[in-house]
Protein backbone atom coordinates (compact mmCIF):
# COMPACT_ATOMS: atom_id res chain seq x y z
CA UNK A 1 0.00 0.00 0.00
CA UNK A 2 1.34 3.46 -0.88
CA UNK A 3 2.06 5.98 1.90
CA UNK A 4 -0.99 7.95 0.73
CA UNK A 5 -3.28 4.90 0.93
CA UNK A 6 -1.89 3.98 4.36
CA UNK A 7 -2.56 7.54 5.56
CA UNK A 8 -6.13 7.31 4.18
CA UNK A 9 -6.77 4.07 6.08
CA UNK A 10 -5.38 5.61 9.25
CA UNK A 11 -7.58 8.66 8.76
CA UNK A 12 -10.59 6.36 8.22
CA UNK A 13 -9.77 4.44 11.42
CA UNK A 14 -9.35 7.69 13.35
CA UNK A 15 -12.62 9.04 11.88
CA UNK A 16 -10.76 11.93 10.23
CA UNK A 17 -11.53 11.07 6.58
CA UNK A 18 -13.86 13.17 4.41
CA UNK A 19 -16.54 10.68 5.17
CA UNK A 20 -17.00 9.55 8.76
CA UNK A 21 -18.27 5.99 8.39
CA UNK A 22 -18.37 5.47 12.16
CA UNK A 23 -20.77 8.38 12.48
CA UNK A 24 -22.85 7.42 9.43
CA UNK A 25 -23.33 3.90 10.78
CA UNK A 26 -25.49 5.37 13.53
CA UNK A 27 -28.07 6.20 10.84
CA UNK A 28 -28.54 2.48 10.10
CA UNK A 29 -30.73 0.64 12.64
CA UNK A 30 -29.55 -2.78 11.38
CA UNK A 31 -26.18 -2.23 13.07
CA UNK A 32 -27.84 -2.17 16.49
CA UNK A 33 -28.40 -5.89 16.27
CA UNK A 34 -25.95 -8.69 16.99
CA UNK A 35 -25.64 -11.77 14.82
CA UNK A 36 -24.27 -14.95 16.41
CA UNK A 37 -23.62 -12.70 19.41
CA UNK A 38 -21.36 -10.38 17.39
CA UNK A 39 -21.80 -6.94 15.84
CA UNK A 40 -22.71 -7.15 12.18
CA UNK A 41 -19.86 -6.67 9.70
CA UNK A 42 -22.00 -6.25 6.60
CA UNK A 43 -19.63 -6.79 3.68
CA UNK A 44 -22.35 -7.56 1.13
CA UNK A 45 -23.52 -4.13 0.01
CA UNK A 46 -23.15 -5.06 -3.67
CA UNK A 47 -26.07 -7.44 -3.24
CA UNK A 48 -28.14 -4.71 -1.56
CA UNK A 49 -27.38 -1.72 0.64
CA UNK A 50 -28.69 -1.28 4.18
CA UNK A 51 -31.25 1.50 4.81
CA UNK A 52 -30.69 4.61 6.89
CA UNK A 53 -33.35 5.94 9.23
CA UNK A 54 -33.79 8.98 6.94
CA UNK A 55 -35.07 6.72 4.13
CA UNK A 56 -37.20 4.56 6.42
CA UNK A 57 -38.73 7.72 7.95
CA UNK A 58 -39.45 9.17 4.50
CA UNK A 59 -41.30 6.01 3.48
CA UNK A 60 -43.40 6.02 6.63
CA UNK A 61 -44.04 9.77 6.48
CA UNK A 62 -45.23 9.52 2.87
CA UNK A 63 -47.65 6.69 3.64
CA UNK A 64 -48.90 8.46 6.76
CA UNK A 65 -49.45 11.88 5.21
CA UNK A 66 -49.50 11.87 1.41
CA UNK A 67 -50.44 8.46 0.04
CA UNK A 68 -52.93 7.58 -2.65
CA UNK A 69 -52.58 6.54 -6.28
CA UNK A 70 -50.96 9.01 -8.68
CA UNK A 71 -52.01 10.75 -11.92
CA UNK A 72 -55.68 9.96 -11.32
CA UNK A 73 -57.56 11.87 -8.65
CA UNK A 74 -58.34 15.61 -8.68
CA UNK A 75 -58.63 15.87 -4.90
CA UNK A 76 -55.92 17.52 -2.78
CA UNK A 77 -54.43 14.28 -1.45
CA UNK A 78 -54.11 12.83 -4.96
CA UNK A 79 -52.42 15.99 -6.15
CA UNK A 80 -50.00 15.83 -3.24
CA UNK A 81 -49.12 12.17 -3.90
CA UNK A 82 -48.53 12.92 -7.58
CA UNK A 83 -46.38 15.91 -6.76
CA UNK A 84 -44.18 13.86 -4.39
CA UNK A 85 -43.87 11.03 -6.93
CA UNK A 86 -42.97 13.40 -9.77
CA UNK A 87 -40.62 15.26 -7.42
CA UNK A 88 -38.69 12.03 -7.06
CA UNK A 89 -38.44 11.76 -10.85
CA UNK A 90 -36.85 15.21 -10.88
CA UNK A 91 -34.38 14.10 -8.16
CA UNK A 92 -33.39 11.11 -10.29
CA UNK A 93 -32.99 13.37 -13.33
CA UNK A 94 -30.62 15.65 -11.46
CA UNK A 95 -28.76 12.67 -9.91
CA UNK A 96 -27.71 11.38 -13.35
CA UNK A 97 -27.78 14.74 -15.18
CA UNK A 98 -30.45 13.71 -17.70
CA UNK A 99 -31.75 16.43 -20.01
CA UNK A 100 -35.40 15.96 -19.05
CA UNK A 101 -37.70 14.06 -16.68
CA UNK A 102 -39.36 12.68 -19.84
CA UNK A 103 -36.30 10.43 -20.10
CA UNK A 104 -36.69 8.95 -16.60
CA UNK A 105 -38.81 5.79 -16.53
CA UNK A 106 -39.62 4.19 -13.18
CA UNK A 107 -39.40 0.40 -13.35
CA UNK A 108 -39.42 -2.33 -10.72
CA UNK A 109 -35.64 -2.79 -10.86
CA UNK A 110 -32.51 -2.53 -13.00
CA UNK A 111 -33.40 -5.98 -14.33
CA UNK A 112 -36.79 -4.80 -15.55
CA UNK A 113 -35.23 -1.66 -17.04
CA UNK A 114 -32.76 -3.73 -19.07
CA UNK A 115 -35.50 -6.13 -20.17
CA UNK A 116 -37.58 -3.12 -21.23
CA UNK A 117 -34.85 -2.00 -23.64
CA UNK A 118 -34.10 -5.51 -24.87
CA UNK A 119 -37.76 -6.25 -25.64
CA UNK A 120 -39.10 -2.86 -26.68
CA UNK A 121 -36.07 -1.68 -28.68
CA UNK A 122 -34.61 -5.06 -29.62
CA UNK A 123 -37.65 -6.80 -31.07
CA UNK A 124 -38.37 -3.86 -33.40
CA UNK A 125 -34.79 -3.15 -34.47
CA UNK A 126 -32.88 -6.45 -34.64
CA UNK A 127 -32.82 -9.11 -37.31
CA UNK A 128 -30.60 -11.54 -39.20
CA UNK A 129 -27.15 -10.10 -39.98
CA UNK A 130 -27.23 -7.86 -36.89
CA UNK A 131 -24.85 -8.26 -33.97
CA UNK A 132 -25.75 -7.84 -30.32
CA UNK A 133 -22.57 -7.27 -28.34
CA UNK A 134 -22.50 -7.73 -24.55
CA UNK A 135 -19.46 -8.66 -22.43
CA UNK A 136 -18.30 -11.73 -20.53
CA UNK A 137 -18.38 -9.52 -17.45
CA UNK A 138 -22.12 -8.81 -17.48
CA UNK A 139 -24.55 -9.61 -14.71
CA UNK A 140 -27.12 -12.05 -16.11
CA UNK A 141 -29.64 -9.20 -16.23
CA UNK A 142 -27.65 -7.44 -18.98
CA UNK A 143 -26.62 -10.70 -20.65
CA UNK A 144 -29.58 -13.08 -20.79
CA UNK A 145 -32.15 -10.54 -22.13
CA UNK A 146 -29.80 -9.69 -25.03
CA UNK A 147 -28.92 -13.32 -25.67
CA UNK A 148 -32.62 -14.23 -25.77
CA UNK A 149 -33.79 -11.27 -27.86
CA UNK A 150 -30.97 -12.00 -30.32
CA UNK A 151 -32.25 -15.57 -30.61
CA UNK A 152 -35.84 -14.45 -31.15
CA UNK A 153 -34.97 -11.82 -33.74
CA UNK A 154 -32.41 -13.91 -35.66
CA UNK A 155 -29.53 -11.60 -34.68
CA UNK A 156 -26.16 -12.92 -33.51
CA UNK A 157 -25.03 -12.55 -29.89
CA UNK A 158 -21.31 -11.91 -29.29
CA UNK A 159 -19.79 -11.20 -25.87
CA UNK A 160 -16.57 -9.14 -25.67
CA UNK A 161 -14.05 -11.40 -23.91
CA UNK A 162 -12.25 -10.46 -20.70
CA UNK A 163 -8.64 -11.24 -19.80
CA UNK A 164 -7.55 -13.28 -16.80
CA UNK A 165 -7.97 -10.34 -14.45
CA UNK A 166 -11.47 -9.56 -15.65
CA UNK A 167 -10.69 -6.56 -17.86
CA UNK A 168 -12.37 -6.19 -21.24
CA UNK A 169 -10.24 -7.14 -24.23
CA UNK A 170 -11.04 -4.19 -26.43
CA UNK A 171 -8.62 -5.40 -29.08
CA UNK A 172 -11.29 -8.00 -29.91
CA UNK A 173 -13.68 -5.28 -31.13
CA UNK A 174 -12.39 -5.11 -34.72
CA UNK A 175 -12.81 -8.84 -35.20
CA UNK A 176 -16.32 -8.67 -33.73
CA UNK A 177 -17.32 -5.81 -36.05
CA UNK A 178 -16.34 -7.90 -39.08
CA UNK A 179 -18.94 -10.53 -38.19
CA UNK A 180 -22.02 -8.42 -38.94
CA UNK A 181 -23.79 -5.07 -38.33
CA UNK A 182 -23.25 -4.11 -34.69
CA UNK A 183 -26.63 -2.82 -33.44
CA UNK A 184 -26.34 -2.98 -29.64
CA UNK A 185 -23.44 -2.78 -27.20
CA UNK A 186 -24.34 -3.64 -23.59
CA UNK A 187 -21.93 -3.23 -20.69
CA UNK A 188 -21.89 -2.55 -16.97
CA UNK A 189 -20.05 0.51 -15.73
CA UNK A 190 -18.84 -1.44 -12.69
CA UNK A 191 -18.73 -5.23 -12.54
CA UNK A 192 -20.64 -6.69 -9.61
CA UNK A 193 -18.45 -9.79 -9.55
CA UNK A 194 -14.97 -8.24 -9.69
CA UNK A 195 -15.45 -4.51 -9.18
CA UNK A 196 -13.81 -3.76 -12.54
CA UNK A 197 -14.49 -0.19 -13.70
CA UNK A 198 -15.23 -0.48 -17.40
CA UNK A 199 -14.32 2.00 -20.16
CA UNK A 200 -17.94 2.73 -21.02
CA UNK A 201 -17.28 6.10 -22.70
CA UNK A 202 -14.82 4.43 -25.06
CA UNK A 203 -17.26 1.62 -25.80
CA UNK A 204 -20.08 4.11 -26.39
CA UNK A 205 -17.92 5.94 -28.94
CA UNK A 206 -17.17 2.65 -30.69
CA UNK A 207 -20.84 1.63 -30.61
CA UNK A 208 -21.85 4.91 -32.25
CA UNK A 209 -19.16 4.56 -34.94
CA UNK A 210 -20.81 1.22 -35.77
CA UNK A 211 -24.29 2.77 -35.81
CA UNK A 212 -25.22 0.86 -32.63
CA UNK A 213 -26.91 1.92 -29.41
CA UNK A 214 -25.02 1.77 -26.09
CA UNK A 215 -26.83 0.28 -23.10
CA UNK A 216 -25.19 0.81 -19.71
CA UNK A 217 -25.97 -1.22 -16.61
CA UNK A 218 -25.14 1.19 -13.78
CA UNK A 219 -26.56 -0.97 -10.95
CA UNK A 220 -23.14 -1.12 -9.22
CA UNK A 221 -22.02 2.33 -10.31
CA UNK A 222 -24.85 4.72 -9.47
CA UNK A 223 -24.58 4.14 -5.69
CA UNK A 224 -20.84 4.89 -5.67
CA UNK A 225 -19.80 7.17 -8.56
CA UNK A 226 -21.18 10.33 -10.08
CA UNK A 227 -23.23 9.43 -13.15
CA UNK A 228 -23.60 11.90 -15.97
CA UNK A 229 -25.54 10.26 -18.76
CA UNK A 230 -24.75 13.10 -21.15
CA UNK A 231 -21.01 12.78 -20.54
CA UNK A 232 -21.04 8.97 -20.74
CA UNK A 233 -22.45 9.27 -24.23
CA UNK A 234 -24.69 6.22 -23.82
CA UNK A 235 -28.27 5.77 -25.04
CA UNK A 236 -29.82 3.85 -22.16
CA UNK A 237 -28.78 3.44 -18.53
CA UNK A 238 -30.33 1.34 -15.77
CA UNK A 239 -30.03 1.11 -11.99
CA UNK A 240 -31.93 -0.01 -8.88
CA UNK A 241 -32.94 1.93 -5.79
CA UNK A 242 -32.14 -0.83 -3.30
CA UNK A 243 -28.40 -0.71 -3.98
CA UNK A 244 -28.26 3.00 -3.13
CA UNK A 245 -29.91 2.81 0.30
CA UNK A 246 -33.43 3.11 -1.12
CA UNK A 247 -36.25 0.55 -0.91
CA UNK A 248 -36.60 -2.53 -3.09
CA UNK A 249 -39.26 -2.62 -5.80
CA UNK A 250 -38.22 0.45 -7.78
CA UNK A 251 -35.58 0.97 -10.44
CA UNK A 252 -34.79 3.47 -13.14
CA UNK A 253 -34.37 3.38 -16.87
CA UNK A 254 -32.91 6.47 -18.46
CA UNK A 255 -33.17 6.62 -22.25
CA UNK A 256 -32.59 9.27 -24.88
CA UNK A 257 -35.97 10.87 -25.57
CA UNK A 258 -35.69 10.45 -29.35
CA UNK A 259 -35.16 6.67 -28.93
CA UNK A 260 -37.88 6.27 -26.29
CA UNK A 261 -40.30 8.19 -28.56
CA UNK A 262 -39.76 5.70 -31.38
CA UNK A 263 -40.06 2.59 -29.21
CA UNK A 264 -43.17 0.49 -28.70
CA UNK A 265 -44.44 0.10 -25.13
CA UNK A 266 -43.10 -2.78 -23.04
CA UNK A 267 -46.20 -3.40 -20.92
CA UNK A 268 -49.79 -2.62 -21.84
CA UNK A 269 -52.51 -1.47 -19.43
CA UNK A 270 -53.69 1.56 -17.48
CA UNK A 271 -51.85 4.90 -17.54
CA UNK A 272 -49.71 4.14 -20.60
CA UNK A 273 -52.52 4.92 -23.05
CA UNK A 274 -53.79 8.13 -24.63
CA UNK A 275 -56.95 6.75 -26.23
CA UNK A 276 -58.46 3.27 -26.37
CA UNK A 277 -61.18 2.11 -28.73
CA UNK A 278 -62.26 -1.40 -29.66
CA UNK A 279 -60.14 -1.15 -32.79
CA UNK A 280 -57.10 0.73 -31.65
CA UNK A 281 -55.01 2.20 -28.81
CA UNK A 282 -52.66 5.17 -28.89
CA UNK A 283 -49.88 5.73 -26.34
CA UNK A 284 -49.39 8.27 -23.59
CA UNK A 285 -46.50 10.73 -23.69
CA UNK A 286 -43.05 10.00 -22.23
CA UNK A 287 -42.27 8.61 -19.75
CA UNK A 288 -45.77 7.29 -18.98
CA UNK A 289 -45.90 5.20 -22.16
CA UNK A 290 -43.51 2.85 -20.32
CA UNK A 291 -45.22 2.94 -16.90
CA UNK A 292 -48.28 0.71 -17.22
CA UNK A 293 -50.37 0.22 -14.07
CA UNK A 294 -49.84 1.59 -10.58
CA UNK A 295 -46.16 2.46 -10.20
CA UNK A 296 -44.05 1.89 -7.06
CA UNK A 297 -45.17 5.22 -5.55
CA UNK A 298 -43.93 5.15 -1.95
CA UNK A 299 -40.76 3.36 -3.08
CA UNK A 300 -39.99 6.06 -5.65
CA UNK A 301 -40.52 8.78 -3.05
CA UNK A 302 -38.21 7.00 -0.58
CA UNK A 303 -35.64 6.51 -3.37
CA UNK A 304 -35.68 10.30 -3.64
CA UNK A 305 -34.87 10.45 0.09
CA UNK A 306 -31.99 8.00 -0.49
CA UNK A 307 -30.64 10.22 -3.27
CA UNK A 308 -30.83 13.20 -0.90
CA UNK A 309 -28.99 11.20 1.75
CA UNK A 310 -26.16 10.19 -0.62
CA UNK A 311 -25.92 13.66 -2.11
CA UNK A 312 -25.58 15.27 1.33
CA UNK A 313 -22.68 12.90 2.16
CA UNK A 314 -21.16 13.46 -1.28
CA UNK A 315 -20.97 10.71 -3.88
CA UNK A 316 -17.27 11.45 -4.51
CA UNK A 317 -16.51 11.06 -0.80
CA UNK A 318 -18.35 7.72 -0.84
CA UNK A 319 -16.31 6.51 -3.83
CA UNK A 320 -13.05 7.66 -2.23
CA UNK A 321 -13.89 5.94 1.05
CA UNK A 322 -14.57 2.66 -0.76
CA UNK A 323 -11.41 2.99 -2.79
CA UNK A 324 -9.38 3.32 0.42
CA UNK A 325 -11.09 0.27 1.89
CA UNK A 326 -10.44 -1.73 -1.29
CA UNK A 327 -6.71 -0.92 -1.31
CA UNK A 328 -6.56 -1.83 2.39
CA UNK A 329 -8.41 -5.12 1.82
CA UNK A 330 -6.11 -6.15 -1.05
CA UNK A 331 -3.12 -5.39 1.14
CA UNK A 332 -4.45 -7.38 4.10
CA UNK A 333 -5.61 -10.36 2.01
CA UNK A 334 -2.16 -10.68 0.46
CA UNK A 335 -0.95 -11.86 3.86
CA UNK A 336 -3.60 -14.56 4.34
CA UNK A 337 -2.32 -17.99 3.30
CA UNK A 338 -4.21 -19.66 0.46
CA UNK A 339 -6.22 -16.55 -0.49
CA UNK A 340 -6.32 -15.59 -4.17
CA UNK A 341 -7.94 -12.35 -5.26
CA UNK A 342 -9.64 -12.07 -8.64
CA UNK A 343 -9.86 -8.90 -10.68
CA UNK A 344 -7.82 -5.80 -11.49
CA UNK A 345 -5.56 -3.81 -9.15
CA UNK A 346 -7.11 -1.33 -6.70
CA UNK A 347 -6.70 1.61 -9.09
CA UNK A 348 -9.12 0.13 -11.61
CA UNK A 349 -11.75 -1.32 -9.32
CA UNK A 350 -14.63 -0.13 -7.16
CA UNK A 351 -15.40 -1.35 -3.62
CA UNK A 352 -15.72 -5.02 -4.47
CA UNK A 353 -13.15 -7.76 -3.76
CA UNK A 354 -13.70 -11.31 -5.01
CA UNK A 355 -11.45 -14.06 -3.75
CA UNK A 356 -11.18 -17.73 -2.99
CA UNK A 357 -9.41 -19.73 -0.31
CA UNK A 358 -7.39 -22.62 -1.67
CA UNK A 359 -9.17 -25.95 -1.21
CA UNK A 360 -12.19 -24.49 0.63
CA UNK A 361 -15.60 -24.14 -1.01
CA UNK A 362 -16.77 -20.49 -1.02
CA UNK A 363 -19.96 -21.49 0.84
CA UNK A 364 -17.88 -22.99 3.67
CA UNK A 365 -15.80 -19.81 3.82
CA UNK A 366 -18.97 -17.68 4.01
CA UNK A 367 -20.49 -19.91 6.68
CA UNK A 368 -17.46 -19.75 8.97
CA UNK A 369 -17.34 -15.97 8.53
CA UNK A 370 -21.04 -15.80 9.36
CA UNK A 371 -20.36 -17.36 12.78
CA UNK A 372 -17.96 -14.43 13.31
CA UNK A 373 -20.72 -11.94 12.42
CA UNK A 374 -19.13 -11.21 9.04
CA UNK A 375 -21.60 -11.28 6.13
CA UNK A 376 -20.09 -11.81 2.67
CA UNK A 377 -21.47 -13.28 -0.55
CA UNK A 378 -20.51 -16.70 -1.91
CA UNK A 379 -21.65 -17.87 -5.33
CA UNK A 380 -21.48 -17.08 -9.02
CA UNK A 381 -22.84 -13.55 -8.48
CA UNK A 382 -25.25 -13.95 -11.44
CA UNK A 383 -22.17 -14.01 -13.69
CA UNK A 384 -21.83 -17.61 -14.82
CA UNK A 385 -20.09 -16.80 -18.15
CA UNK A 386 -17.45 -14.87 -16.17
CA UNK A 387 -17.01 -17.72 -13.69
CA UNK A 388 -16.49 -20.08 -16.64
CA UNK A 389 -13.88 -17.71 -18.06
CA UNK A 390 -12.07 -17.57 -14.69
CA UNK A 391 -12.26 -21.35 -14.37
CA UNK A 392 -14.21 -21.39 -11.09
CA UNK A 393 -17.79 -22.27 -10.14
CA UNK A 394 -18.05 -19.56 -7.50
CA UNK A 395 -16.05 -17.02 -5.51
CA UNK A 396 -16.32 -15.20 -2.22
CA UNK A 397 -17.06 -11.51 -2.47
CA UNK A 398 -16.65 -8.71 0.06
CA UNK A 399 -18.21 -5.39 -0.92
CA UNK A 400 -18.25 -2.04 0.81
CA UNK A 401 -20.36 1.06 1.22
CA UNK A 402 -20.42 4.35 3.06
CA UNK A 403 -21.00 2.61 6.42
CA UNK A 404 -18.13 0.11 6.07
CA UNK A 405 -15.29 0.65 8.57
CA UNK A 406 -11.71 -0.67 8.39
CA UNK A 407 -12.27 -2.71 11.58
CA UNK A 408 -14.72 -4.87 9.60
CA UNK A 409 -12.00 -5.70 7.12
CA UNK A 410 -9.83 -6.67 10.08
CA UNK A 411 -12.62 -9.01 11.18
CA UNK A 412 -12.85 -10.46 7.67
CA UNK A 413 -9.11 -11.19 7.74
CA UNK A 414 -9.30 -12.74 11.23
CA UNK A 415 -12.22 -14.88 10.03
CA UNK A 416 -10.20 -16.08 7.04
CA UNK A 417 -7.39 -17.15 9.37
CA UNK A 418 -10.04 -19.19 11.23
CA UNK A 419 -11.12 -20.73 7.90
CA UNK A 420 -7.50 -21.75 7.37
CA UNK A 421 -7.24 -23.23 10.85
CA UNK A 422 -10.50 -25.14 10.38
CA UNK A 423 -9.50 -26.54 6.99
CA UNK A 424 -5.79 -26.92 7.72
CA UNK A 425 -4.66 -24.54 4.98
CA UNK A 426 -0.97 -23.80 5.65
CA UNK A 427 1.13 -20.90 4.50
CA UNK A 428 2.65 -21.72 1.14
CA UNK A 429 4.98 -19.05 -0.17
CA UNK A 430 3.82 -17.25 -3.31
CA UNK A 431 0.24 -18.49 -3.10
CA UNK A 432 -1.40 -15.35 -1.83
CA UNK A 433 -2.01 -12.16 -3.74
CA UNK A 434 -3.84 -10.99 -6.82
CA UNK A 435 -4.37 -13.66 -9.39
CA UNK A 436 -5.22 -13.16 -12.99
C1 LIG B 1 -24.24 -5.21 -12.20
C2 LIG B 1 -25.66 -5.55 -11.87
N3 LIG B 1 -26.59 -5.41 -12.80
C4 LIG B 1 -27.88 -5.67 -12.58
C5 LIG B 1 -28.29 -6.14 -11.35
C6 LIG B 1 -29.73 -6.44 -11.15
O7 LIG B 1 -30.26 -5.57 -10.20
P8 LIG B 1 -31.74 -5.86 -9.63
O9 LIG B 1 -31.66 -7.21 -8.99
O10 LIG B 1 -31.92 -4.78 -8.64
O11 LIG B 1 -32.65 -5.81 -10.78
C12 LIG B 1 -27.36 -6.33 -10.34
C13 LIG B 1 -27.76 -6.86 -9.03
O14 LIG B 1 -26.99 -7.46 -8.33
C15 LIG B 1 -26.01 -6.01 -10.60
O16 LIG B 1 -25.07 -6.16 -9.67
Q: What is the mean pLDDT of each run of 10 residues along the chain (436 residues)?
A: 60 72 98 97 98 98 98 95 98 98 98 98 98 98 98 98 94 97 98 97 98 98 98 98 98 98 97 97 98 98 98 97 97 97 94 97 98 97 95 96 98 98 67 37
Determine the pLDDT at residue 295.
98
Q: What is the CA(422)–ligand 1 centre distance, in A?
A: 33
Determine the pLDDT at residue 425.
74
Would the pTM count as exceeding 0.85? Answer: yes
Determine the pLDDT at residue 3.
58
Helices (H), 314-350: 315-333
- Among residues 234, 245, 382, 383, the one annotated as catalytic is 382
Q: Is 220 in the pocket of ligand 1 (CB under 6 A)?
A: yes
Q: Is 219 in the pocket of ligand 1 (CB under 6 A)?
A: yes
The crossing angle, in degrees rounded to 10, of helices 3-13 and 315-333 is: 110
Helices (H), 133-284: 144-153, 173-177, 200-209, 229-232, 257-262
**Which residues, in sequence order, are bridge partners of residue 340?**
356, 433
**Alpha carbons 171 and 165: distance in angstroms, whole number:** 15
**Alpha carbons 106 and 128: distance in angstroms, whole number:** 32
Q: What is the CA(204)–ligand 1 centre distance, in A?
A: 21
* Beta strand pairing call for 156-160 and 130-135: parallel
Determine the pLDDT at residue 426.
61
Q: What is the CA(72)–ligand 1 centre distance, in A?
A: 32
Residue of the nearest CA to atom 16 in ligand 1?
192
Q: Which atom in ligand 1 lies closest to the alpha carbon of residue 108?
A: 11
Q: Which atom in ligand 1 lies closest to the alpha carbon of residue 112?
A: 11
Determine the pLDDT at residue 415.
98
CB 330 within 8 A of CB 352: no
Strands (E) located in 246-287: 251-255, 273-276, 281-283
Q: CA angle at residue 298 from 295 to 300, to 5 degrees?
A: 65
**Alpha carbons 103 and 302: distance in angstroms, whole number:** 20
Determine the pLDDT at residue 18.
85
Q: Which atom in ligand 1 lies closest to the alpha carbon of residue 240?
A: 10
Radius of gyration of the chain (CA): 23
**Which residues, in sequence order, are bridge partners of residue 182?**
131
Determine the pLDDT at residue 312.
98
Residues 6+ apart with CB under 8 A from 62: 84, 298, 301, 302
Q: What is the CA(249)–ligand 1 centre distance, in A?
A: 12
Cα dihedral 106, 111, 114, 120, rounded to 10, equals -70
Determine the pLDDT at residue 16.
63
Examine the residue annotation and report whether 245 is marked as an active-site residue of this protein: no
Q: Is 390 in the pocket of ligand 1 (CB under 6 A)?
A: no
Taking residue 29's Cβ as centre, other Cβ atoms within 10 Å add up to 12
**Alpha carbons 368 and 377: distance in angstroms, whole number:** 12
**Alpha carbons 429 and 337: distance in angstroms, whole number:** 8
Q: Is 192 in the pocket of ligand 1 (CB under 6 A)?
A: yes
> For residue 51, how many C-alpha atoms fall within 13 Å in the half-sphere facing its CB?
17
**Alpha carbons 218 and 226: distance in angstroms, whole number:** 11
Amino acid sequence: MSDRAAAAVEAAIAGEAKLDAHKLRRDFPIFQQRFHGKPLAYLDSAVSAQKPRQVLDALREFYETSYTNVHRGVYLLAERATERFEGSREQVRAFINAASTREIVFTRSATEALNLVAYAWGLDNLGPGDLVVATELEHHSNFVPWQQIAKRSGATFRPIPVDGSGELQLDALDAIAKQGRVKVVANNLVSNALGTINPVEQLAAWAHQQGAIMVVDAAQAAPHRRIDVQQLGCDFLAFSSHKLCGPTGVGVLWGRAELLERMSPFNFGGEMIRKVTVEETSWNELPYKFEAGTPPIGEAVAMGAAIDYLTAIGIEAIGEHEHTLTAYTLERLADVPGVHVFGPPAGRRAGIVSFDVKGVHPHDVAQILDFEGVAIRAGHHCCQPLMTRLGVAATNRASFYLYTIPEEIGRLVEGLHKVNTTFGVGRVRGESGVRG
